[in-house]
Amino acid sequence: MLSVDPRPAEGVAVGVDIGGTKLAGGLIGADGSVLARDRVDTPAHDADAIVEAVLGVVERLTGACEPGTGDSAPRGVGVPVGVGAAGMIDLGGTVRYAPNLDWSGCQLGALLTRRLGVTVTVDNDGNAAAWGEYRCGAGRDTRASLVMLTVGTGVGGGLIHNGTLLRGAQGFGAEFGHMVIAEGGRRCPCGNTGCLEALASGTAIGITARERRESGGVPTDSPLHHASEPTGKSVTIAAHAGDEAARAVLAECGAWLGVGIASLVNALDPEMVVVGGGAMDAGELLLAPAREAAVQRLMGRSRRQAPPIVRAGLADDGGLVGAALLALEAGAGHPRPATRDPV
């Protein structure tokens, strides 16, 4: 196992976060500061268009780049570039499977490296966010370990252990959202049943609200009773406005999140659990029940201290900050497992 040198690299790098709907980029300093931003819609159904969109973002952020003249012409971008993308990314930077983007098989790392003239590092977005939080976010004062969960449309994950971002044997870890925590439960987009993602994602919040309404569990004076299709966002807005039915939905999904966190803490004993993603707009309405459910399930809970379970410090920037820092550190000669070819 290679370890990443904890000393920060110097300079700047571009980080790009490719999500199912938005493609966000930033020019990132070595301390994680965002010096410039760019953002476009993700052309979700066209792999070539996604690659071109990334190139456009990188060029706008770095300014004085030579325009490309084709696949074989490096553009000489001049700074390291790191990408975080939703889906299963192998250690060679190829997208193996992505449920929300139509680009499985895209050799993203190789294509961008050829077009930009610098080595482009590519990681799963949850892994990139974990590194961002570990370096510069909520986990910046941890010594060497951290578990990250990104709760949005789905549930992503990332794991820092002994100061190293753990990607697994092929690069497909750490998909904590697909830990099965209720076998036979609600169907997950991945095909399994009872995954953490199926019970605690932003999507799951909307589904839980609908199911409660259909079973008569939502009073007629609740905004959820009249919403045509409750979503994680609409439930969160109603909950913040004081609606008890909406708060109960968040408490249920938060408790499932806590069940997943308990298993992670029991298995890995991290210094900290960081929760980010769009669903964290619900804040403590989701996190407090998660904390309570997690602590109840810790092995030997009366004889140990539970790790802090906290909200992400970088908000939506964790993925692009982490991706940039991974690229910066790789470019500075720091050893990085993702630069090795899979065995």
Which positions lie near Zn ion, rule CB under 5 A?
178, 188, 190, 192, 195
DSSP β-ladder status, 309-311 and 273-276: parallel
Task: Tell me whether residue 179 or residue 324 sits nearer to Zn ion (CB atom).
Answer: 179
Shortest distance, CB of residue 54 to Zn ion, whole angstroms? 27
Q: Dihedral sign for Cα 280, 286, 292, 298, please.
A: negative
∠ at Cα 35 (112, 317), nearest 5°?
70
> Phi/psi of residue 312, each to 5°?
-55, 145
C-alpha distances in Å from residue 172, one per residue of 97, 141, 262: 10, 27, 22
Q: Which residues pair with 85 in a beta bridge?
A: 18, 124
User: Which CB sits closer to Zn ion, 188 or 293?
Assistant: 188
> Tokens 């190829």 appear where?
94
Q: In terms of CB distance, is 88 or 188 closer to Zn ion?
A: 188
- Distance CA(13)–CA(136), nearest Å, equals 15
> Collapsing DSSP states into helix, strand and coil, what is residue 68?
coil
In the complex with Zn ion, the residue whose CB is nearer, 100 or 107, is 100
User: Tokens 């790009």 label which residue?
Assistant: 16
CB closer to Zn ion out of 2 and 267:
267
Q: How far is the CB of 189 from Zn ion (least distance, A)?
A: 7
Q: Which is nearer to Zn ion, 25 or 154 (CB)?
A: 154
Distance CA 253, CA 242 (A): 17
Match 């997943």 to its residue by tokens.
260
Q: How far is the CB of 190 from Zn ion (least distance, A)?
A: 3
User: In the bound complex, what is the minimum distance in angstroms from residue 158's beta carbon to Zn ion?
Assistant: 17
CB of 252 to Zn ion, least distance (A): 18
CB of 156 to Zn ion, least distance (A): 11
